[in-house]
Structure 1
Amino acid sequence: MEIPVYTLDAFTNSPFKGNPAAVCPLIRELSDDLYQKIAVEMNLSETAFITRINQSDDFTKGSRFHLRWFTPATEVNLCGHATLASAAVLFQYKQNINPTLVFETRSGELAVTRKGEGYVMDFPLNPPTQEVQWSDKHIQTIDIIKAAVGNHPVQDVYLSSNTEKLLVRLADSCDRSVLTSLKVDPVTLQSSERSGRVKGLILTIKGSPNCQPGYDFYSRYFAPWYGIPEDPVTGSAHTVLGSYWSKKLGKKKMLAYQCSSRGGELELEVRDDGRINIAGQAVTVLQGSITL
């Protein structure tokens, strides 16, 4: 059996930047065990599998598809960059004729629309809740923060219980270089939190909107609990970040930059209907087939 596979770097227009995702458009469903084995073999933060909902559809004319995402360790409920990459594969390589594609996923229906050189994803918004007494109430929260940022001053700690993501905002006295220079050990980070409350850590600081290109905030994201030491550019984390910073900055539209070593840019728009638009570009770096 030959399975087509594409690797795309998402949230960038340059190869070897952004976040790489493998995408496999499938004629028929495979077993969960095989999905996981392929994800392990691809060894990227996410491998996406697209399948048809109606067998009479094809990848060119169909507008609705099933979409699942697997890390090398497990299946996940939401992934932004691999959704962006999946839409790009259907639009660019399957010449899909529809202006918008809808993916049925573990997180409900996710629509992706072409926009200029990139794509806009319609995602759920995940507002986090402030950990008011994080410094003395949640001992494990203290441990995870210390493991990530050491003695750097922390301004806010919020938890998105729905996504199990902890958001830690460094004080405004910390600039971008502080965030990028942090050395976060994934083993220490994972061992600091075993309660199950947290499965991903977002570190963020206020941006420099008055300096070109005008980023409203910066972030990094770590998820060793899912087998991802650091994710280069994370759409799902921005469903939390977008909500948090929209309220703090009083803005609906924001430009964000994720400060991993690869780096990536995301355009965000928090909508009045409780969802968020996440826009970005994607570039292909590999096309091939998996032989089974």
Structure 2
Amino acid sequence: MLAPIFQVDAFTNRRFSGNPAAVMVFEQFPPEEVLQALAAENNLPETAFLVADNGDYQIRWFTPMVEVPLCGHATLASAAVVMERLEPKREVVVFHSASGPLTVSRSGTGYVMDFPRRTLEPVEIPPELPSALGAMPVEVVWDGSNFLARLATAEIVHNLNPDLAAIETLARSGVIVTAPGDAGFDFVSRYFAPAKGIPEDPVTGGAHCGLTPFWAQRLDKTAFRAFQASRRGGEIVCRLVGDRVELEGACVFYLDGTVEF
């Protein structure tokens, strides 16, 4: 069986930065074990699988280890594939997903995604978290999937060298760390999810569905320039719009090809 594959660097305008995603297109989804095997073979933070559906697209996302209910950067990459390769004149695309319909529109510099806002719940700082991170959080909330830990400064976030084995044992999907921004950004962040097969995700759209309302409460504003301070790094423009979050970013194509399986 043959299927087209694209590899796209998302949340960046420079190749070899941002977050790489594979996007594969099918007439119908293969069995789940095949999708998981393809994602493991691609060995990228996420692979998005698309099926055309009455003018829209169905979308599923897999890490090398598990299927996930939402992935921002692979959705951004999928929008670039649809609007730059599959349907070049298209301006808007709707992806139907486990997290509901996700609308992506062209913008002047890339694409704008309309995602659900995550609900945040304050929690006591887990006693094992400071040693796992190698830093003491100022506060911790839960975003429904991950611990979100605010650290004191952007410098601490940049220099963090966490114990990934310890993070993997925490009773959450992953840990987001964040701090007030530097270098013209409103806030910075990093995301560690070894339990999902992603030791550190380069740039995480889903995390910003919680980071945006988190910083809206603390900075008393609703629009932000954010930087995810991984080794590759990436920039996201975030806007809080009611119970939704708009995430805007650019994409760069790296690979167009065909997979045989």
- TM-score of Structure 1 vs Structure 2, range by shorter chain: over 0.9
Whether the 8 Å contact between 1:145 and 1:168 is mirrored in structure 2 is no
**In structure 2, C-alpha distance between the alignment counterparts of 1:98 and 1:285, rounded to whole Å:** 21
2:99 to 95, 107, 126: 107
Q: Does 1:168 align with 2:149?
A: yes
Q: Does 1:249 align with 2:241?
A: no
Deviations 1:10-50 (A, max 9, x none): 00000110000000011222111110000000000100000
Q: Match of 2:185?
A: 215
Deviations 1:198-254 (A, max 9, x none): 11100000113xx5xx20000000111111100000000000000100110011110
Whether the 8 Å contact between 2:111 and 2:248 is mirrored in structure 1 is yes
Whether the 8 Å contact between 2:39 and 2:63 is mirrored in structure 1 is yes
Q: Match of 1:262?
A: 232
1:202 to 160, 176, 194: 176
Aligned AA (1:288):
G
Gaps of 5+ in 2: none
1:183 to 144, 158, 161: 161
**In structure 1, C-alpha distance between the alignment counterparts of 2:234 and 2:80, rounded to whole Å:** 17
Q: Match of 1:138?
A: none
- Secondary structure of the corresponding residue to residue 142 of structure 1: coil
Q: Match of 2:109?
A: 117
**1:78-157 counterparts in 2 under 5 A?**
78-131=70-123, 134-135=124-125, 141-148=126-133, 150=134, 152-157=135-140
**In structure 2, C-alpha distance between the alignment counterparts of 1:70 and 1:167, rounded to whole Å:** 22
Identity of aligned residues (%): 41
- Secondary structure of the corresponding residue to residue 261 of structure 1: coil
**In structure 2, C-alpha distance between the alignment counterparts of 1:74 and 1:115, rounded to whole Å:** 31
**In structure 1, C-alpha distance between the alignment counterparts of 2:51 and 2:130, rounded to whole Å:** 40
**How far 1:4 moved relative to its partner?**
0.6
Aligned AA (2:207):
A
1:224 to 194, 205, 212: 194
- Secondary structure of the corresponding residue to residue 50 of structure 1: strand
Instruction: Compare CA radii of gyration and give the structure with the larger one.
Output: 1
**Which consecutive segments of 4 or more residues in structure 1 shift more than 6 A?**
none
**In structure 1, C-alpha distance between the alignment counterparts of 2:76 and 2:137, rounded to whole Å:** 32
**In structure 1, C-alpha distance between the alignment counterparts of 2:195 and 2:155, rounded to whole Å:** 26
Whether the 8 Å contact between 2:146 and 2:176 is mirrored in structure 1 is yes
- Secondary structure of the corresponding residue to residue 98 of structure 1: coil
Q: Match of 1:69?
A: 61
**In structure 2, C-alpha distance between the alignment counterparts of 1:65 and 1:32, rounded to whole Å:** 18
Whether the 8 Å contact between 1:167 and 1:204 is mirrored in structure 2 is yes
**In structure 2, C-alpha distance between the alignment counterparts of 1:269 and 1:24, rounded to whole Å:** 29
TM-score by length of 2: 0.96
**In structure 2, C-alpha distance between the alignment counterparts of 1:154 and 1:166, rounded to whole Å:** 11
**How far 1:181 moved relative to its partner?**
1.4
Against the structure 1 CA distance between its residues 28 and 96, is the aligned structure 2 distance closer, same or farther, given a 3 Å change threshold? Answer: farther
Q: Match of 2:256?
A: 287
Aligned AA (1:156):
E
- Secondary structure of the corresponding residue to residue 237 of structure 1: helix
Q: Match of 1:34?
A: 34
**How far 1:258 moved relative to its partner?**
0.2
Gaps of 5+ in 1: 55-61, 136-140
**In structure 2, C-alpha distance between the alignment counterparts of 1:254 and 1:160, rounded to whole Å:** 19
TM-score by length of 1: 0.87
Count of residue pairs the alignment pairs up: 261
**In structure 1, C-alpha distance between the alignment counterparts of 2:201 and 2:186, rounded to whole Å:** 20
**How far 1:256 moved relative to its partner?**
0.2
Whether the 8 Å contact between 1:127 and 1:244 is mirrored in structure 2 is no
- Secondary structure of the corresponding residue to residue 127 of structure 2: helix
**In structure 2, C-alpha distance between the alignment counterparts of 1:145 and 1:32, rounded to whole Å:** 37
- Secondary structure of the corresponding residue to residue 218 of structure 2: helix
